[in-house]
Amino acid sequence: MTEPVGSAPVNLLGLDAEALARVCAEWGEKPFRARQLMRWVHQRGEDRFSEMTDLAKSFRARLERDAVVRAPAVLRDHVSSDGTRKWLLDVGGGDAVESVFIPETSRGTLCVSTQAGCAVNCRFCSTGKQGFSRNLAVHEIVGQLWWANRCLAPAPGAADLLTERPRPISNVVFMGMGEPLQNYAATLSSLRIMLDDNAYGLSRRRVTVSTSGVVPMIDRLREDCPVALAVSLHAPDDTLRNELVPINRKYPLAELMQACRRYLEKAPRDFITFEYVMLDGVNDSDAQAEALVRLTRDVPCKFNLIPFNPFPESGLRRSSDARVRRFGQLLIDAGIVTTIRKTRGDDIDAACGQLAGEVQDRTRLEERSRRVIPVAEVR
């Protein structure tokens, strides 16, 4: 995929290796120029063509005239007490999306958004309550990684201008605003740029796409660019999942489990990660843990149990710590690797399910939400 190239300057952040080579060829440049350009833009984080000193002057002049390196502008920058950092990024048209950096001892993880808003409208997710505006373009997705690396890494000095900047981000998760597989083409090109050795050189095992369960696109991703896969599960049966994750009405659990098994044939990891937000009295009973064991019996997997991060419109409550531990122990006793996710960045609304940004809803969600049936509690 390539982003449109016309009379307006082309944004190089939106071009994968194939597209960039094609543009360079149109400009009369040899293929190696595309590789040089990718290294300057992505590895060194350079947006000034005048500083790309190993490019021919004529090529730099062409770039100044016909190209830009432009990430979404930062509207706000918040730092949590635990070191988590969240940026609100302007993507135009009154829309803004959020991106989150989570520092840990052994890795740095960036959570990127793929849509302004989200059409899936999961009950426990703040993003979905804003409705949906539009898909992000490739440069707006990759621009989140480009900006974060540039912001977090020390600027190179004059002596090491031609060397790669230190990169604080070792992992990228497509778990921000939006459903990545409903913006498939842009997600795929973004993945290819992030994996490219001339760009960010990330391992397939260190890039995770999280989906609510868009079964046909899971199959396409398996063929096109299999990276680590996380599935937002959140319920052990169709009746409850239909209410919590409405896309389940189109792709029910039996179809989703089959797609997960197929994905593992080419996945870089030998398991699927199931994300499961813990909702008090809704999906956290012993019986539901046992039902999860039965549901996933034929799918090699691990579970991430996520403490629910409340927001006013949800009408839901977080499960107690004791209930979460009990639930997790039941999964562990059944032989399933299970982790209880530590909440990070909740003091700046950067935790799981809290990303909201600013979205011009084009789906009239508020009007449609008046007809939502409350989720029944299970006791």
- Taking only the tens place, the pLDDT of each residue in 146-201 is 999 999 976 655 445 555 555 689 999 999 999 999 999 999 999 999 999 999 99
Identify whether residues 253 and 321 lie together within a single domain.
yes
Instruction: Determine, yes or no, domain membership for 376.
Output: no
Domain boundary at 37, 68, 99, which? 68
Identify whether residues 172 and 194 lie together within a single domain.
yes
Identify whether residues 179 and 36 lie together within a single domain.
no
Q: pTM of the prediction?
A: 0.88
Indicate whether 43 pLDDT > 60: yes
Tally Cβ neighbours within 10 Å of residue 25.
13
Say how many domains are in the chain.
2
Indicate whether 7 pLDDT > 50: yes
Identify whether residues 251 and 294 lie together within a single domain.
yes
Per-residue pLDDT, 377: 46
Identify whether residues 125 and 138 lie together within a single domain.
yes
Q: Could you report the per-residue pLDDT of 348-363, keeping only the tens digit for each?
A: 454 444 444 555 655 5
Instruction: Determine, yes or no, domain membership for 4.
Output: no
Per-residue pLDDT, 378: 44
Instruction: Determine, yes or no, domain membership for 5.
Output: no
Query: 62-69 long-range CB contacts below 8 Å, 24 or more apart?
Result: 62/27, 63/37, 65/9, 66/9, 66/10, 66/27, 67/9, 67/10, 67/11, 67/12, 68/9, 68/10, 68/11, 68/12, 69/11, 69/12, 69/13, 69/41, 69/146
Identify whether residues 63 and 78 lie together within a single domain.
no
Identify whether residues 217 and 320 lie together within a single domain.
yes
Tokens of 150: 């540039």
Q: Could you report the per-residue pLDDT of 244-273, keeping only the tens digit for each?
A: 999 999 999 999 999 999 999 999 999 999
Instruction: Determine, yes or no, domain membership for 2.
Output: no
What single-letter amino acid sits at 120? Answer: V
Per-residue pLDDT, 363: 53
Domain holding 26: CATH number? 1.10.150.530
Per-residue pLDDT, 159: 45
Buried b (16+ CB within 10 A) or exposed e, 136-148: bbbbbbbbbbbbb
Per-residue pLDDT, 200: 97
Indicate whether 276 pLDDT > 90: yes
Instruction: Determine, yes or no, domain membership for 105.
Output: yes
286 compared with 359, residue with greater pLDDT: 286
Per-residue pLDDT, 309: 85
Per the prediction, the chain carries an average pLDDT of 88
Average confidence (pLDDT) over 224-241: 98
Instruction: Give the helix/strand (H/E) hosting 190.
Output: helix 184-195
Identify whether residues 173 and 131 lie together within a single domain.
yes
Instruction: Determine, yes or no, domain membership for 264.
Output: yes
Per-residue pLDDT, 348: 46
Instruction: Determine, yes or no, domain membership for 141.
Output: yes
Residue spans of alpha helices (H) in 27-117? 31-38, 57-66
Identify whether residues 226 and 321 lie together within a single domain.
yes
CA distance 338 to 263: 21
Identify whether residues 133 and 262 lie together within a single domain.
yes
Burial class (CB within 10 angstroms; exposed 0-12, middle 13-18, buried 19+) of 16? buried
376 compared with 220, residue with greater pLDDT: 220
CA distance 310 to 332: 26
Identify whether residues 55 and 77 lie together within a single domain.
no
Per-residue pLDDT, 355: 46
Residues carrying an active site annotation: 98, 352
Tokens of 277: 């937000």
Per-residue pLDDT, 206: 97
Looking at the DSSP bridge assignments, the partners of residue 209 are: 174, 229
User: Dihedral angle at the C-alpha atoms of 255, 274, 175, 187, nearest 10 degrees?
Assistant: -40
DSSP state of 375: P
* Domain with 237 in it: 73-369
Instruction: Determine, yes or no, domain membership for 378.
Output: no
Domain boundary at 68, 90, 111, which? 68
Q: Could you report the per-residue pLDDT of 89-133, keeping only the tens digit for each?
A: 999 999 999 999 999 888 999 999 999 999 998 988 887 778 889
Per-residue pLDDT, 80: 84
Average confidence (pLDDT) over 129-151: 94
Domain holding 309: CATH number? 3.20.20.70
Identify whether residues 37 and 143 lie together within a single domain.
no
Q: Could you report the per-residue pLDDT of 56-94, keeping only the tens digit for each?
A: 999 999 999 999 999 999 999 988 888 899 999 999 999
